[in-house]
Each structure stands twice: as C-alpha cells, then as structure tokens.
C-alpha cells in the first residue's frame, strides 16, 4: 500500500522503517523543517500538510507530529477520507475528543491511534488470560527519568499548550492505556498530580497518582522524577490469583513465564517492538475492511482519564467518568 507521513522526527523514522520492512511504499513526507525533509526518503516532499493532503494519493496517512497538532491534522485527513494512523495521544483538549469522533463517523477512512504496547506478547497473553475471569483489582506503575536535556530537545515539550501535560499524557499514557484495556474504564477517579523535581525547566507535572473506582478498582502511579528508568510494573488479582508483570516476565502465582519480543524493535528502546504489529494490523484492516480496534472511541479512554486526573488534583474532588 501507499503511505504518507506528516512530521519527520524520531518516531516518524520508526514508522518509516516498519513500513519498509512490511513492504509498503512511502509516497510523500511532510515537515515544516526543510532540513528534516532532506533526510526523508520519499519522491514527494511538502512543507505544508494541507497542501500534501490535497495533492497526493495514499492509502494511509501517518501523523507523527507533536501532541498539540494531532487533533486538527486528524480532522483534516479524515475529512478528505484518508485512512489515518496517528501517534498518541488522540488530543490534548477535552473538546477535541468529540470533534474527532464526529469527523471519524462521517469519514470513509479509518482512524487508528498508536498504543503499540497492546501488541507486545506479554500484554496479549494477559488480555487473553483475563477472558472469562474476574479481575478484582489492579495496580500499575511507570517510574522513569526525564531530565532537563530531554526537555531541551524540542520546544513543545514540557508546556501545557503544546504537550498538554507531562508524564501522564506523554510517557505513561501507554501504561495507562494497558491498565484500562485490562481493567476497563472506572466509574470515577481521584488523583494527585504534581511537579516534584522538574519545576525549574517545565510547566507540567512530572508525577501523578490515580485511584480508579469501579468494577475493577485500580491504582496508577507514574513519575519522571526517578534517577533512572525502571521497568514498567503491573500487579493484577484475577479470581484470587496474583499476577505480577515485570521486565517481560509474568508471574502467575508461583509460575514464571518469560516473553521475548515478537519482532524487531525500531527507534528508542522506550518505543518497544509493538509498532510493527500495530502498523501491520492497521494495514490489514484497511485491506480487508475489518474494523481497527484502537479508534477514536478506544483511544479517548486514556485521555479522558488524564483530563479527569488534572481536574481531580486541582479541585481535590472525585471526577465521574
């Protein structure tokens, strides 16, 4: 199939490498930085994404831009009936959730959001294990380090207007998405959000705790204020049996199962290897007419919890979802 990419930063290169490994053709790339376009391997190059969308023929448009650009670019591409695969998050404003859903409903194209960790073998195993069982409660934590040098790499990082938040909407949203995938949406949440270590160089939060209340209550902890990056952890109680997920090892009671990456990982280690499975699945959906699972409705779950966490922390109240 033919693909076009909007935004040619680090994550776009991962998309490019995966597309080539799967045998798809990249027909156009767009970026507002001419120097980045010089590195791109595509026959057509554009500085303006609207001009690109009005000029090309492509099966899928990949959106790999900073957070604040996602909503308008998704809407622009869907309104032209392109199939759209966008990096997370879906959007950074509450009102954009409904805007995107409305355009998606009326478009001939499909929308997919890159929560690629759903395609990691260990997460697929857990999801299948939960079928027909009762998840009683769950916890998840992401303890990472993001220092001043990281935030200096791009002007949009660390700002409410352009990143839309910090650790919650950027790094840990993948872990939050998995937790919601396993446990379902809570009825309401309470949260505390703060900036513990990074106040001198970013506006947004670097640490958050969320308690979700519902059929399967959960606790979620995320921070970028650690000295080092720790592996993501999950603990689940399933029908009275404890499941512990750590560093690609799943403990079920006293049994340990080790998982290997299913495919080659492209890009930063934090991305994992899930992009290959996700992109392959999305393209298969386009080719067969099958519905892609992580659409606007599904991807909105994580951002809705993030928005609720910000509100809860500010008001010190529970927020009903």
Q: What is the reported pTM?
A: 0.96
Average pLDDT, the chain: 96
Residues 108 and 209 in one domain: no
Between β-strands 249-252 and 255-258, what pairing exists: parallel, antiparallel or unpaired? antiparallel
DSSP string, 77-100: HHHTT-EEEEESPS-SSHHHHHHH
Both ends of the chain: CA-CA distance in Å?
A: 39
Domain boundary among 91, 115, 139: 115
3-state secondary structure of 148: helix
Scan for tokens 């969308």, then name that residue.
Answer: 53
pLDDT for position 27: 98
Averaged pLDDT, 202-217: 97
Kindly tell me if the per-residue pLDDT of 262 is higher than 70: no
Residues 71 and 201 in one domain: no
Residue numbers of the domain that contains 174: 117-268+295-320
Q: Is residue 288 part of a domain?
A: no
pLDDT for position 265: 63
Averaged pLDDT, 113-136: 97
**Number of domains the chain is built from:** 2
According to DSSP, the residues that pair with 213 across neighbouring strands are 188
Alpha-carbon distance values, 31 to 8, 15, 44, 60, 79 (Å): 6, 15, 12, 17, 20
Kindly tell me if the per-residue pLDDT of 310 is higher than 60: yes
Buried b vs exposed e over 19-52: b needs ≥16 C-beta within 10 Å?
beeeebebbbbbbeeeebbeebebeebbeebeeb
Residues 91 and 202 in one domain: no
E strand or H helix that includes residue 210: strand 207-213
Identify whether the C-beta of residue 231 lies closer than 8 Å to the C-beta of residue 223.
no
Can you tell me the distance from the alpha carbon of 99 to that of 274, in angstroms, rounded to the nearest whole number? 28
Kindly tell me if the per-residue pLDDT of 272 is higher than 70: no
pLDDT for position 53: 98
pLDDT band with cut points at 50, 70 and 90 for residue 215: very high
Averaged pLDDT, 160-188: 98
pLDDT for position 261: 72
CA gyration radius, the chain: 19
CATH number at residue 84: 3.40.50.720
Residues 47 and 155 in one domain: no
Identify whether the C-beta of residue 198 lies closer than 8 Å to the C-beta of residue 224.
yes
Residues 25 and 144 in one domain: no
pLDDT for position 273: 79
**Exposed, middle or buried by CB within 10 Å (0-12, 13-18, 19+), for 201?**
middle
- Token duo for residue 35: 């120097």
Q: Is residue 313 part of a domain?
A: yes
């Amino acid at each position: 199939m033919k693909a076009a990419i909007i935004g040619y930063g680090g994550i776009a290169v991962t998309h490019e490498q995966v597309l080539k490994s799967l045998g798809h053709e990249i027909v156009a790339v767009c970026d507002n930085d001419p120097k980045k376009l010089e590195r791109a391997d595509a026959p057509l190059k554009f500085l303006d994404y609207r001009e690109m969308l009005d000029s090309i023929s492509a099966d899928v448009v990949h959106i790999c831009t900073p957070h604040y650009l996602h909503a308008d670019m998704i809407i622009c591409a869907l309104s032209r009936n392109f199939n759209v695969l966008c990096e997370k998050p879906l959007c950074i404003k509450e009102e954009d959730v409904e805007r995107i859903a409305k355009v998606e409903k009326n478009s001939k194209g499909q929308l997919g959001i890159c929560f690629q960790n759903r395609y990691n073998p260990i997460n697929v195993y857990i999801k299948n294990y939960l079928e027909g069982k009762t998840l009683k409660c769950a916890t998840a934590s992401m303890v990472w380090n993001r220092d001043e040098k990281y935030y200096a790499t791009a002007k949009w990082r660390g700002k409410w207007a352009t990143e839309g938040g910090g650790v919650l909407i950027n790094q840990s949203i993948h872990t939050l998405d998995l937790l919601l995938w396993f446990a379902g949406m809570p009825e309401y949440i309470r949260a505390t959000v703060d900036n513990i270590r990074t106040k001198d160089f970013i506006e947004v939060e670097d640490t958050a705790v969320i308690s979700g209340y519902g059929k399967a209550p959960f606790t979620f902890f995320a921070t970028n204020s650690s000295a080092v990056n720790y592996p993501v952890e999950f603990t689940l109680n399933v029908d009275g049996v404890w499941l512990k997920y750590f560093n690609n090892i799943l403990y079920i009671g006293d049994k340990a199962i080790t998982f290997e990456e299913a495919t080659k990982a492209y890009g930063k280690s934090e991305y994992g290897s899930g992009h290959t499975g996700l992109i392959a699945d999305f393209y298969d959906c386009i080719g067969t007419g099958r519905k892609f699972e992580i659409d606007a409705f599904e991807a909105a779950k994580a951002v809705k919890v993030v928005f609720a966490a910000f509100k809860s922390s500010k008001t010190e109240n529970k927020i009903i979802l």
